[in-house]
Structure 1
Amino acid sequence: MEHKIAVVIPFYKIAFFEECLSSLASQSNKNFNVYIGNDASNEDPNRIIEKFERALNISYKRFEINLGQKSLTKQWERCLALIEKEEWFILLGDDDYLSDNYVQKFYANINLIKKYGLKVVRYASQEINEKGEVISKRFEHPVFQTFNDAFSMRFFEGSRSSLSEYIFSVEQYKKYGFRDLPLAWHADDLAWLEYSEFGDIFTINKATAFFRISTLNISRPNYLLEEKANTQYCFFEIIVKEYLNKFDRNTARKILKRFELLTYNLNKASFKFWKFNILYFLKYFGLFESVKFSRRVFLKGIKNE
């Protein structure tokens, strides 16, 4: 049987790597290949890889130059370049793991995925700690959800999202790539928006991606907060500049408000910011709110230029 899924693991940390591979070896459907790209790590994964070579179809490459510290998305891209003929890929964190029915549930839905021309498949998810203990509720989603609703849930209604819980079309990746955002923060969010071409997101709730929060990963609380805030600003700037007109009026308003707040928090209010956004405020909020917006920007930034 031709393998349609590539499980791509950008490797750097060994602490939870065995648990990651063990979850792949436990899959009830092994119709997938595993590609591991070592980002010049000081930790050697060979012993663990050898342990699973009989259970998994593994291709392993060690890169001699570390890219992750400069650009995590570039490290993702060179790992994805290892893919051969697969049509779909999972970009799996080396400290995350998948429920044992993850792949099986994808193939159980493949006819539906093809019927509707879907390019992004999302799974239910839960957060775990360093001990593998579940520390969050199980996040499920509507089976078919518009990108607009998915975005609103993600950023304004307390949901979550991480790279490991998606299966993406290789074709769409080759078309759009990953945006080179610092820390790759929100690069996954742009990916599911762009790869789906602002269409529906299909969710499989009967399998789970387990996303680890530990003292070793970027997502841990109170870590690189300034860099993350700056990258979130960049992310929302892209959304406003390139894609705001794709969202419904209510979500567009929320996006503009969030972008304005991020701008003030980072002391980026300026005449340029006002000039760019005033037309959007007129379009989505009307004259009265636009006057109030202008006053806020004047008080926050323009007077200091």
Structure 2
Amino acid sequence: MLAIIIPYYKITFFDETLKSLSNQTNRNFKVYIGDDFSPENPSELLKKYENKIDFIYQKFDNNFGRSSLTKQWERCIKLNKNEKWLMLLGDDDVLSENFVETFYNKRLFFEELYDVVRFSVIKIDSKTNPISNKIQNIEIESSKNILFNTMRSSLSEYVFKTSTVNKIGFKNFPLAWWSDVLAVLEFSNFNDIYSINNSYVKVRISELSISGSSNFEQQKEKSSYLFYNYLLLNKKKYFTYYEIDFLLERISKRYLNNRSNIKLFYKISATYFKNGKFIAYFKFLNRIIKSIFYKCE
């Protein structure tokens, strides 16, 4: 019924991840570990959990993560044996002991109505110390809230209907930055998602993770542009007039953060024109002028 899929690369926190799986109060799940040709062999660690977790381990012959994390996710998903639901769990994240139990306890509330289920989150650091309170969600909420209200999301906090994932797939952005958010939007068809708050995922923010590192800012900016541009050009029908203004505001920041990128300026200008937002475009130009004068001062 439930596949827990781990795209594996780093061993540093992997023992904690596996331990949280071995401690589940409901054992009705299967774990699939897809090794992205990692130099950190987990074989000895996996032996420790052979009789504690029902898992399949596959070491791939080449590395996808350096060029496309989403392709690594998708080949890991192909390992599953047609479980109806799946989650992609980071190799440094941790599940609460009742995670699987609450998934099944709540199943009747979401199984036929929703394709995306979201769990509460506690952010942790490299020493597994909490750096946030438990972040809870509205039980039934629009998936668009991730963009317009909460402005936070992590792949590990979701369970998806397998058939929907296989049908739509993941959009390949650099570092898969925003690929998870777009997946939630598309897998839910921009409609509601169901949230479970009495269990949680501990999502790790550390210097070893993309989200916790400051080494990828240029790639993150590129992904942000590609994400918002994709929504504006391909998914416009799902957004209101004012929501489109918000998306244009977000995409314009990509250029304001890097005014030397003239090609990006032309691309963003074209996006404004394609959406018929001429007044908003002049406001965008005005912000550029003001930022130039501010820098000169």
The TM-score with structure 2 as length reference comes to 0.91
Q: 1:147 and 2:139 equivalent?
A: no
Q: Could you tell me which residue of structure 1 aligns to residue 45 of structure 2?
A: 48
> CA deviation digits over 1:68-104, x for unaligned, max 9?
1111111111111101120111100100011011111
Q: Distance in 2 between matches of 1:148 and 1:64?
A: 38
User: Identity over the aligned pairs, expressed in percent?
Assistant: 37
Residues 288 and 174 of structure 1: CA distance in aligned 2, closer, same or farther (over 3 Å)? closer
- Counterparts of 1:152-231 in structure 2, within 5 Å, are 152-155=148-151, 160-231=152-223
Q: Secondary structure at the match of 2:57?
A: strand
C-alpha displacement of 1:141: 1.1
Which among 112, 133, 137 is matched to residue 129 of structure 2? 133
Match of residue 36 from structure 1: 33
Q: Distance in 2 between matches of 1:270 and 1:34?
A: 45
SS of aligned partner of 1:52: coil
**Residue among 5, 18, 23 paired with 1:21:** 18
* Alignment partner of 1:277 is 2:272: yes
Q: Read off the aligned partner of 2:3 and give its amino acid letter.
A: A
**RMSD over aligned Cα atoms:** 2.1
Please tell me whether the aligned partners of residues 119 and 158 of structure 2 are also in contact (alpha carbons under 8 angstroms): yes
> Residue 60 of structure 1: CA displacement?
0.6
Counterparts in 2 of 1:161 and 1:276: CA distance versus 1, 3 Å: closer
The offset of 1:264, in angstroms, is: 3.2
Tell me if the contact between 1:148 and 1:251 (Cα under 8 Å) persists in the aligned partners: no
Can you give the 5+ residue segments of structure 1 that lack an aligned partner in the other structure? 301-305
The Cα shift of 1:219 comes to: 1.3
1:148 deviation in Å?
A: 2.6
Distance of 1:242 and 1:13 partners within structure 2: 35
Separation (CA, whole Å) in 2 of partners of 1:176 and 1:94: 24
Conserved in 2, the CA contact under 8 Å of 1:274 and 1:297? no
| Alpha-carbon offset, residue 295 of structure 1 | 5.7
1:123 is paired with a residue whose SS is strand
Separation (CA, whole Å) in 2 of partners of 1:214 and 1:296: 34
Gaps of 5+ in 2: 292-297
Q: In structure 2, give the amino acid aligned to 1:103.
A: V
TM-score of the superposed pair, with normalisation by structure 1: 0.89
